[in-house]
Amino acid sequence: MKEPANKKLTSYGDAGFSQFIRQAFNRHLGFDEEDFQKPVIGICNTKSEINRCHTHIGPLVEAIKKGVLMAGGIPLEFPTISLGEINTSPTTMLFRNLAAMDTEEMIRAQPMDGVVLIGGCDKVTPSQLMGAASADIPSIIITGGPMNNGEYEGRTLGACSDCRFFWQEYRGDNITEQEKDAINEALAPTAGHCMVMGSASTMAVCAEAMGMMLPGGAAIPATHNARLKHAIETGKKIVELVNKGITPSQIITEKSLDNAIRALMAVGGSTNAVIHLIAIAGRLGIKLPLDRFDELSKTTPFIANLRPAGKYQMEDFFNAGGTPAVLKELESLLHLDELTVTGTTLKENIRDVTISDVYRDIVYPFEQPLHKEGGIAVLKGNLAPNGAVIKPKAASKDLLNHRGRAVVFSSTKELEKMIDDPTLDIQADDILILQNAGPVGAPGMPEAGMLPIPQYLLKKGVRDMIRISDARMSGTAFGTVILHVAPEAAVGGPIGLIQTGDIIVVDVDNRKLELLVSDEELANRKASWTPPTIAARGYVQMYQKHVMQADKGCDFDFLLAPQKEKVR
Ligand code: FES
């Protein structure tokens, strides 16, 4: 095998022997030495039967290989960690950085000139982008694509917004056991990742908007012929990127991240994307403060009518033109000269995009948006000095500016035990607080932020309350939920000092989150606070020692690139 263009192969201290042994071992696929003079393309494969969102990607990997071969490269598939939301405990977020390290180091350690990253489920796309950004060889990302719509008795179902919606209805005695079981069978009807604008779809849209995925890739359903075509195109294109020497650090810039944030706001995407985009930026030494999300949200119209904040799902979004249609509408706000994995600019990519009037209830015109502002707001105040986030469009309007009594749960375990206890006397206008569910405290910042409504309130018809935590929530979740409070309780943040009965003011219009307790009283409470013990050993200990707070992207502190300089 020839030495890859941008890295040194291991030497055994004898260059001739190194070449000899590699030649012998590389014959196993039937390629000869001449073939290895062509661009070698790694295909970073996250196929897994436990991660159901990635079960089906085998044929896509084969399609990518076809594309690579057609373009004159040699495709070599290799495995990396696969993270599936539903079957990974305690939370996939605990392992996002591990997956990113795996991706980075395997790209760096193995001989390849370029890489195609294939994933899809929530944490996989960001971990692959983080790893590729750090390794910085020519890279393209592709996902397995979203599921097709589900259906139950004429109603469209979406995983997993409807998993949450119908579970809540079941707890509120609004649907029967039989209905619950029938809905369960229809919730995830095909291969693919969740088909609402949850975290998986959001990160795919962001990857496309920042230029790391070929145009249109985010929305193509997992089962559609167009996804195989997209995979073949990706295989062809990576060879071209290798030949042109285009790497992620030329594509992921301050400006292209702005484009990704604009797209995030316009589609009402997941709050998780805020954490992931900050982490991706950090891998390239780009400072991306939380306030930038609020600035861009205030000036980006919300134009994609997609669940959980809107009405439609990814299959419908695909028919309406997907991310290119959104980017076309946002054109006047975007940095159009940014380079993308097509080898040309965003401007070129969307030049000929048109949107049929038939789909104007899915992608709204820029001039007549669904909402004037984007889908995420950043709140600050003495309860969250370094920030917190909320999706106002997925919340109840009447709760966006509210003053209420705190009811505190000190952990997810206590929440589980106590939430339905009627002696707590929780009222609908109270504010539920979850502490110690952040990056260090949980650990791993689980998607526990959409706290369940107490059953006795559900039975009275209550469907939303203000909930505040240092946790995250699934991109498919909804409600008046304030998340990512930083600093978190486990590092001494004010959220950990709240007591039941304290009064909290939420003022989303003015971006405020205040705890009406005096500084003196808070200082007294802090004096008796003790930090939690961390894990005794292993990866979790390393995670707790090195994970940064939500406003810094939850990456490990030692993985950040020096600002504006390469790691190696
Ligand atoms: Fe994988 Fe929802 S469980 S995207």
The string of DSSP letters for 96-123 reads HHHHHHHHHHHHHHS--SEEEEEE-STT
> What atom in ligand 1 is closest to the CA of residue 51?
1
Hey, which of 194, 203, 447 would you mutate to test ligand 1's pocket, going by the most ligand atoms within 8 Å of its Cβ? 194
Q: Is the distance from the beta carbon of residue 83 to the nearest atom of ligand 1 less than 6 Å? A: no
Q: Is 194 in the pocket of ligand 1 (CB under 6 A)?
A: yes
In ligand 1, the atom with minimum distance to the C-alpha of 199 is 4
**Exposure string over 333-367, b if 16+ CB within 10 A, otherwise e:** bbbbebbbbbeebbeebbeebebeeebeebbbebe
193 pocket-lining for ligand 1 (C-beta < 6 Å): yes
Ligand 1 centroid from CA 194, angstroms: 5
In angstroms, what is the span from residue 402 Cα to ligand 1's centroid?
33
What distance in Å separates the CA atoms of residue 322 and residue 304, rounded to the nearest whole number?
A: 9
* Mutational pocket test of ligand 1: of 121, 143, 276, the residue with most ligand atoms within 8 Å of the beta carbon: 121
- Residue 196 Cα to ligand 1 midpoint, Å, equals 10
Instruction: Indicate which atom in ligand 1 lies nearest the CA of residue 53.
Output: 1
- Cα 133 to ligand 1 centre (Å): 23
* C-alpha of residue 207 to centroid of ligand 1, in Å: 17
Check if 85 has its Cβ closer than 6 Å to any atom of ligand 1. Answer: yes
Per-residue pLDDT in tens (0 to 9) along the chain, 568 residues: 556 544 455 667 888 888 888 888 888 999 888 888 899 999 999 999 999 999 999 999 999 999 999 999 999 999 999 999 999 999 999 999 999 999 999 999 999 999 999 999 999 999 999 999 999 999 999 999 999 999 999 999 999 899 999 999 999 999 999 999 999 999 999 999 999 999 999 999 999 999 999 999 999 999 999 999 999 999 999 999 999 999 999 999 999 999 999 999 999 999 999 999 999 999 999 999 999 999 999 999 999 999 998 999 999 999 999 999 999 999 999 999 999 999 999 999 999 999 999 999 999 999 999 999 999 999 999 999 999 999 998 899 999 999 999 999 999 999 999 999 989 889 999 999 999 999 999 999 999 999 999 999 999 999 999 999 999 998 888 899 999 999 999 999 999 999 999 999 999 999 999 999 999 999 999 999 999 999 999 999 999 999 999 999 999 999 999 876 443 3
- Would you give the DSSP letter of residue 193? B
- Count Cβ atoms below 10 Å from residue 48 Cβ, excluding itself: 19
pLDDT at residue number 6:
40
Residue nearest (by alpha carbon) to ligand 1 atom 2 = 194
Which atom of ligand 1 lies closest to the CA of 85? Answer: 3
122 lines ligand 1 (CB under 6 A): yes
Asked whether the ipTM of the predicted complex exceeds the cut of 0.85, the reply is yes
Task: Kindly state if the Cβ of 53 falls inside 6 Å of ligand 1.
Answer: yes
| pTM over 0.90, yes/no | yes
In the reported structure, the alpha carbon of residue 529 is separated from the centroid of ligand 1 by a whole-number distance in angstroms of 37
Of 310, 51, 326, 50, the closest CA to residue 198 belongs to 310
Q: Which atom of ligand 1 is nearest to the CA of 476?
A: 2
Tell me phi and psi for residue 312, to 5 degrees. -100, 180
Query: Measured in angstroms, how far is the CA atom of residue 13 from the centroid of ligand 1?
Result: 46
At 510 the pLDDT is: 97
128: CA distance to ligand 1 center in Å? Answer: 16
Mutate to test the pocket of ligand 1, among 48, 50, 53 (most ligand atoms within 8 A of CB): 53
Q: 214 CA distance to ligand 1 centroid (A)? A: 21
Q: How many angstroms separate the Cα of 32 from the Cα of each of 19, 25, 108, 475?
A: 13, 11, 23, 47
- CA of 87 from ligand 1 middle (Å) equals 10
Distance 346 CA to ligand 1 centre (A): 28
Ligand 1 centroid–CA 54 distance in Å is 9
The CB of 200 under 6 Å from ligand 1? The reply is yes
Q: Strands of 113-238 (E only): list them.
A: 114-119, 139-143, 150-152, 155-157
Separation of 84 CA from ligand 1 center, angstroms? 6
Distance CA 143, CA 79 (A): 15
What are the DSSP E strand ranges found in 175-334?
A: none
Which ligand 1 atom sits nearest the alpha carbon of residue 86?
Answer: 3
Residue nearest (by alpha carbon) to ligand 1 atom 1: 121
pLDDT of residue 11: 65
Query: For residue 201, which atom of ligand 1 is closest to its CA?
Result: 4
390 pocket-lining for ligand 1 (C-beta < 6 Å): no
Query: Ligand 1 pocket, 196 CB below 6 A?
Result: no
Write the residue with the smallest CA distance to atom 3 of ligand 1.
85
C-beta of residue 559 within 8 angstroms of C-beta of residue 134:
yes
How far is the centre of ligand 1, averaged over its atoms, from the C-alpha of 245 (Å)? 33
C-alpha 139/C-alpha 42 separation (Å) is 9
Q: Which atom of ligand 1 is nearest to the CA of 160?
A: 2
Indicate the SS3 state at residue 513.
Answer: strand
